[in-house]
Amino acid sequence: MLLWSWCMINPPSGLGQKVQTIDRHSVSWNRYYLMWTFQPEWTFHQEIDYRFFLETGAWHQLALHTHVHYRTSSEIELALGISRMENGDATPSQRNSPHQVEWRTFQEFHFPTPLPTPFSLSHRYRIEQRYVKNSAAPFVWRGRYRLQFNWTLPNSRWIIHASNEAFINWGRNISSVFDQNRTYVGLSYVFSWKLRLEAGYLMQWQQAGRPNLLYLRNVGRISVYHRL
């Protein structure tokens, strides 16, 4: 999957035009993640993610993700959800760009690959239906695959995280099959079973309207995980 993602971003010269990169943008993503287990097998998840450009302080995005998870066993988890994405300008050049709202519904499938303690490896598959304005179809399909590795350090309160997530589009009138790729490294501190703080760096490659044009963003991410 990692090799496939790299090939999507850097296609061989014989298969198409040379990929161009728009200026690197530095962005701050700030997330509050609430989890509420209301039945032994059922958990409610609510994410609030506020994003802005570091160069100018210009507002970039507000992401609200609401989903419900069902754990079929200790190994497998299924989820259904809905997202509200409020998007500003794609570059930091405008402070007061018009906001565009996009709704999405999605389905997820989670499972781990067994590793010896203190390591863990997990897989997440997500299929999204993006309700994009002025689209020829009722919605646009997008698939996401995330591979995440965790290493719990000896004192058990510190955890190192590394992940890669690939996004692909399909359906009518899409401009590119490749949508984006995210590579992430982070470190979290576990205060208690209910509270964890995580900080990390994410490199985001995102398709910019034409198949041979990509945004490259350096993202600093802070997440607060809260369990009820």
Indicate which CATH number applies to the domain containing 150: 2.40.160.40
- Residue corresponding to tokens 């590394």: 162
Query: What is the pTM for the complete model shown?
Result: 0.88
pLDDT of residue 14: 34
User: For 14, phi and psi rounded to 5 degrees?
Assistant: -80, -10
Q: Which residues of the chain, if any, have pLDDT below 70?
A: 1-19, 93-98, 135-136
> How many domains are contained in the chain?
1
> CA 42, CA 70: separation in Å to the nearest integer?
5
> CA 128, CA 62: separation in Å to the nearest integer?
18
pLDDT of residue 2: 42
pLDDT of residue 13: 35
For residues 109 and 124, is the Cβ–Cβ distance under 8 A? yes
For residues 190 and 196, is the Cβ–Cβ distance under 8 A? yes
Residue 151 identity (one-letter amino acid)? W
| Domain span at 122 | 2-227
